[in-house]
């Protein structure tokens, strides 16, 4: 097997900057706060931090409405503070990844302000403008992912502009050469400052149908689903031309050596594979989000793992994501006991894992009262379950401190205090200790980093598989059930268990017990 790149060997830790650590008492996390916690991330065993958007923004969508791609929002700090963070991270052996948001800008970005100033402005076609339909309404039936029409009327120029998300987030026209050139300059700006790669926001949405045809109705739509699900996104996502853009981004990163390009892409596996590129010239890792919404059963996950591994092109490297800033936390989805099983699953599957901040201490979704809702996805579609505030609540550092040590001020979202890093730090049976042991295990066993995955089998509520590399073999067994189960195993030694008392246990060939919600890794 060829020598692995750092992102193939490593583990990525996602930081939602508003919620990680506040250093100045304004209730919002910032760069100085992140910098102060880098030793924690390094000691955990992660290899890279991915920082969600920190660019200047009106914060209509909490930074995903970018007003300047080449600076830092004062809310989070300054460009010199970011540069210092990168230096500190590199000193600790950590890579730094940034969120790149190329599909849309803020409507307050100078580019859009020029674009909407007149129909003959040179930047007019940097965005998607269309004349009204014959009845004066929107040009077609495209819907916003935040609810309502995706077209916003501009009285000044007498046309509509397209926004896949909020009206405050107009979509850029990636068919325009100057847009591509400007965005290439953005990538180079941050690469020149030592950034080690990017997670590209909504990568599969960058190109829209050039004929602006109506999206067809979705025959599987069910009442109660988000409004945009009423239509199939035939002409507003996953257009063939997007792959040329991905190749261009890949080429830019290649100019800077070993940099990683990760794509946020919510598509079925067969479509996802295309984003690797036919010759490995696409995204290094199109994010594999299957675990976020999977039915939590041995049979479902076994089929998912096998199908994904078989679908990967020969040049492709796998990856797995257990949680992120847009989905309910794993401990809330499956419960505290199964969250431990999930940790073993994530960190023993083949490929690069991404850990969402707080999952390593078993954080659950926060309780958000109606008057505390901040997320526009929920405010625009109340009661639809689209709100992302619960999974974005602040990190819990020390339960004995006000706001769990996140801030000395009033936190932007309420802070839970059910557990914390400090409380779990010295407890060998804690979730934090489990994550640390798992990450140490990955570093010491090549089979978990570059080995194959084989014999993926579901037997009742138990999922088993093996990781192999040269003469090293590890057997993983995970009990997804609520009762004790018996598992067939070869002779070996338990090198890790969610039950600390089993570490080092010698296994005889035959059946071995697994307690409720237990997972083990054994050297066989």
User: Exposure of 121 by Cβ count < 10 A (0-12 exposed, 13-18 middle, 19+ buried)?
Assistant: middle
| Closest listed residue to residue 29, CA positions, set 3, 10, 52 | 52
User: Exposure of 3 by Cβ count < 10 A (0-12 exposed, 13-18 middle, 19+ buried)?
Assistant: exposed
Write out 117-143 in H/E/C secondary structure. Answer: CCCCCCCHHHECEECCCCCCCCCCCCE
Instruction: Tell me the pairing of strands 462-469 and 151-154.
Output: unpaired
Contact 96, 194 (CB under 8 A): yes
Q: Which of 30, 227, 238, 264 is catalytic?
A: 264
Contact 447, 468 (CB under 8 A): yes
The 3-state DSSP class for residue 106 equals coil
User: Cα separations (Å) of 482 from 267, 329, 345?
Assistant: 32, 20, 17
Calculate Rg over the CA atoms of the chain: 23
Q: Which of 201, 360, 365, 391 is catalytic?
A: 201
The 3-state DSSP class for residue 160 equals strand
The 3-state DSSP class for residue 514 equals strand
Contact 160, 132 (CB under 8 A): yes
d(C-alpha 480, C-alpha 406), whole Å = 34
H-run or E-run covering 14: strand 12-15
264 is catalytic: yes
Beta pairing partners, 12: 48, 354
Residues taking part in catalysis: 201, 264
């Amino acid at each position: 097997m060829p020598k692995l790149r750092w992102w193939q060997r490593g583990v990525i830790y996602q930081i939602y900057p508003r919620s990680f650590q506040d250093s100045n008492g304004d209730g919002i996390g910032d760069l100085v706060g992140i910098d102060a916690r880098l030793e924690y991330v390094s000691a955990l065993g992660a290899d890279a931090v991915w920082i969600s958007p920190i660019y200047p923004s009106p914060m209509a969508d909490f930074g995903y409405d970018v007003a300047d791609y080449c600076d830092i929002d004062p809310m989070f700090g300054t460009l010199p503070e970011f540069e210092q963070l990168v230096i500190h991270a590199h000193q600790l052996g950590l890579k730094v990844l940034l969120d790149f948001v190329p599909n849309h800008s803020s409507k307050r970005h100078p580019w859009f302000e020029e674009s909407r100033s007149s129909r003959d402005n040179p930047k007019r076609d940097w965005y998607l403008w269309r004349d009204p339909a014959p009845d004066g309404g929107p040009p077609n039936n495209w819907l916003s992912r935040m609810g309502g029409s995706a077209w916003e009327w501009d009285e000044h120029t007498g046309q509509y502009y397209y926004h896949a998300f909020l009206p405050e987030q107009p979509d850029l026209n990636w068919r325009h050469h100057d847009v591509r050139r400007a965005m290439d300059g953005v990538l180079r700006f941050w690469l020149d400052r030592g950034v080690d790669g990017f997670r590209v926001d909504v990568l599969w949405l960058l190109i829209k149908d050039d004929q602006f045809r109506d999206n067809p109705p979705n025959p599987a739509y069910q009442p109660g689903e988000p409004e945009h699900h009423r239509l199939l996104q035939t002409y507003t996502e996953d257009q063939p031309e997007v792959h040329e853009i991905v190749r261009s981004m890949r080429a830019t990163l290649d100019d800077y050596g070993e940099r990683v390009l990760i794509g946020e892409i919510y598509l079925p596996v067969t479509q996802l594979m295309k984003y690797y590129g036919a010759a490995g010239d696409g995204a290094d890792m199109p994010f594999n989000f299957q675990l976020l919404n999977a039915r939590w059963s041995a049979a479902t996950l076994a089929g998912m793992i096998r199908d994904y591994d078989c679908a990967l092109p020969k040049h492709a490297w796998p990856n797995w994501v257990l949680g992120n800033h847009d989905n309910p936390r794993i401990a809330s989805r499956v419960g505290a006991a199964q969250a431990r099983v999930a940790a073993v699953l994530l960190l023993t599957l083949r490929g690069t894992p991404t850990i969402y901040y707080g999952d390593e201490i078993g954080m659950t979704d926060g309780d958000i009262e109606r008057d505390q809702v901040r997320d526009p996805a929920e405010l625009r579609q109340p009661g639809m379950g689209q709100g992302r505030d619960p999974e974005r609540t602040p990190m819990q550092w020390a339960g004995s401190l006000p706001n769990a040590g996140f801030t000395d001020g009033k936190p932007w979202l309420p802070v839970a205090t059910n557990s914390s890093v400090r409380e779990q730090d010295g407890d060998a049976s804690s979730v934090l200790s489990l994550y640390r042991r798992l990450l140490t295990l990955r570093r010491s066993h090549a089979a978990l980093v570059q080995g194959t995955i084989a014999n993926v089998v579901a037997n009742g509520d138990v999922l088993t598989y093996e990781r192999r590399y040269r003469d090293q073999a590890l057997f993983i067994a995970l009990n997804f059930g609520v009762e004790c189960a018996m598992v067939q195993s070869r002779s070996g030694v338990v090198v890790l268990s969610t039950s600390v008392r089993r570490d080092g246990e010698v296994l005889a060939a035959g059946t071995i017990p697994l307690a409720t919600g237990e997972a083990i890794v054994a050297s066989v």
